[in-house]
Chain A
Amino acid sequence: MQRIVVPGEKLEDKPLRIDEAFTEDGKTYSTIMSVYDEERKVLTPLEGMWYPRMGDQVVGVVAEDKLSVYFIDLNSPYKGLIFAKDCNDDLMAGDIIEASVKELDKTKTAILTRPRKLFGGKILYVNPAKIPRILGKGNTMIRQLTQLTQSSITVGLNGLVWIKGGKVDLATEAIVTIQQEAHTAGLTNRIKALLETGK
């Protein structure tokens, strides 16, 4: 059974290691607004933010262009940083890039690698907690979205989604719907119907 829990709400009467939960006095409690699956013992966040983790694929906006480094706004308390030597494109403030997090430094600044400049298109800011739902299990949802809208979509785990070409408005509508209804049943089928009727 699934139930919506708020911070401080008891999940289990025994100490369990669950993401976004903590244990105290032999009991497990939630720390954020989330859906708790009592059978699988999994907490799925409803609200949340992204903090850099090694290997995460991100979409960011170039904030500052220094001589040998670029600072990237990642929609997070922590900045991203790209060394100019790792970058084939010449970047300017305002450019949109896709990259992956190589490592984190002492101040949690994300050092990014393999940057790819994204030309044109549109940026959507999404709640980072809903990104797994936009990607879907085994990337099924995002594959369905790209196939049925013919758009090129790049999803950053930090909550930025870049869309270009094809039916941009339809893709945007679908992503906004996924964000709003991420915790409901039968969402994949509804999104499929939305995309097919919107053709």
Chain B
Amino acid sequence: MSGSGEKPVLIVDGKRLDGRLPGDIRPSRIEANVLKNAAGSAYIEWGNNKIMAAVYGPSEALPKHTSNPERAVIKCRYQMAPFSSLEEHGRSGPNRRSIEISKVIKEVFENAIITENFPGSEINIYVEVLQGDGGTRAAGVTAAAVAVAASGIPMTDLPYGVSIGKIGDQIVIDLNKIEDNYSDADVPIVISPRTGRILLLQMDGDMTKDEINRGIRMAADAGKMISKMQSDALKKQYMEISEKYKNEAPSYTPQAQK
């Protein structure tokens, strides 16, 4: 949407510039628990996006006045590394854009984490964009959800993010940087797959109600794949060890001590 000059042709013969169909997402992979010091962490490669997410806590909320005696407070920092992008928002330090995205990511997790379990504490979520190519907040939320789950913080769901957009009359999902700049609309959304609730929706550009609904349906279809990728990333490390010893004599599973 922020592109200037002559608009490039973004869809040729029904295919997008990188060969994807309108409902396709870019190839992506997630790895869980990549950082030793964090309670939970994840690394995601989503097309050309490379994003690291880390979760610390719950710990005592400091400064004290930020704490809530009824639930945990969630603090989030989304930041693009200075080298992550060619555009001005790649500069270091908090800026208008990163403060906004930190706020919306925080609100996503306030609706996913069971914060009532930890009154008076804080949970810190960090999302660092190492390389950005459009759709970083959606990919950031997807990675952060894996990081929160890997930390053992109880959640009601594993939310995922994906962007929907409009190029001419065509509704597409998962826009990359060029599509983002020259499309008619870009709408990042975050969905809670268990209930289908939408936890984040921001719109840049114009889309009709019908177009938004069509986009959300396309995103939910692609979301099944993203959800599977998230859960596979979380299970992978345990599955590998289980596979190694699967033929051994079974033993008991301990119950949590009460």
Residue contact B58 to A45, C-beta cutoff 8 Å: no
Task: Give Cα A37–Cα B252 distance, bound, in whole angstroms.
Answer: 11
Residue contact A48 to B249, C-beta cutoff 8 Å: no
Which residue of chain B lies nearest to A4 when distances are taken between CB atoms in the complex? Answer: B235
Residue contact A49 to B152, C-beta cutoff 8 Å: yes
Instruction: Please judge, given known A-B contacts A77-B60, A187-B251, whether A180 and B241 are in contact too, CB under 8 Å.
Output: yes
Residues of chain A with a CB closer than 8 A to B194's CB: 8, 10, 29
Residues of chain B with a CB closer than 8 A to A49's CB: 39, 58, 152-153
Instruction: Please judge, given known A-B contacts A20-B154, A132-B256, whether A188 and B251 are in contact too, CB under 8 Å.
Output: yes
Task: Give Cα A12–Cα B72 distance, bound, in whole angstroms.
Answer: 28
Residue contact B235 to A19, C-beta cutoff 8 Å: no
A129, CB-defined interface residue at 8 Å: yes
Chain B, 114-149, contact with A by CB distance < 8 Å: what is the 0/1 string? 100111110000000000000000000000000001
Chain A, 71-84, contact with B by CB distance < 8 Å: what is the 0/1 string? 00000011100000
Task: Give Cα A22–Cα B155 distance, bound, in whole angstroms.
Answer: 10
Residue contact A131 to B248, C-beta cutoff 8 Å: no
Chain A, 31-55, contact with B by CB distance < 8 Å: what is the 0/1 string? 1110101001010111111010100
Residue contact A33 to B152, C-beta cutoff 8 Å: yes
Residue contact A7 to B156, C-beta cutoff 8 Å: yes
A137, CB-defined interface residue at 8 Å: yes
Chain A interface residue count, CB cutoff 8 Å, equals 52
Task: Give Cα A44–Cα B251 distance, bound, in whole angstroms.
Answer: 14
Instruction: Please judge, given known A-B contacts A6-B234, A183-B238, whether A35 and B253 are in contact too, CB under 8 Å.
Output: yes
Min CB distance, B141 to chain A, in Å? Answer: 14
Instruction: Please judge, given known A-B contacts A77-B60, A186-B250, whether A131 and B257 are in contact too, CB under 8 Å.
Output: yes
Q: By CB atoms of chain B within 10 A, which of A78, A108, A157, A185 has the most?
A: A185
Instruction: Please judge, given known A-B contacts A33-B150, A44-B253, A137-B254, whether A9 and B156 are in contact too, CB under 8 Å.
Output: no
Min CB distance, B64 to chain A, in Å? Answer: 11
Chain A, 7-31, contact with B by CB distance < 8 Å: what is the 0/1 string? 1111000000001101010000101
Chain B interface residue count, CB cutoff 8 Å, equals 50
Residue contact B151 to A42, C-beta cutoff 8 Å: no
Task: Give Cα A188–Cα B250 distance, bound, in whole angstroms.
Answer: 10
Task: Give Cα A32–Cα B256 distance, bound, in whole angstroms.
Answer: 14
Residue contact A183 to B157, C-beta cutoff 8 Å: no
Residues of chain A with a CB closer than 8 A to B111's CB: none
Residue contact A181 to B239, C-beta cutoff 8 Å: no
Residue contact B256 to A47, C-beta cutoff 8 Å: no
A88, CB-defined interface residue at 8 Å: no
Instruction: Please judge, given known A-B contacts A33-B149, A33-B234, A136-B254, whether A184 and B242 are in contact too, CB under 8 Å.
Output: yes
Residue contact A185 to B118, C-beta cutoff 8 Å: no
Task: Give Cα A78–Cα B253 distance, bound, in whole angstroms.
Answer: 28
Q: 6 extra interchain contacts, Cβ-Cβ under 8 A, other than A8-B158, A181-B245?
A: A4-B235, A4-B238, A44-B256, A53-B258, A78-B60, A189-B248
- List the interface of chain A (C-beta within 8 A of B): 2, 4, 6-10, 19-20, 22, 24, 29, 31-33, 35, 37, 40, 42, 44-49, 51, 53, 77-79, 107-108, 127, 129, 131-133, 135-137, 157, 180-190
Q: Which 6 A-B pairs have the closest CB atoms?
A: A47-B152, A186-B248, A8-B157, A77-B121, A31-B154, A132-B254
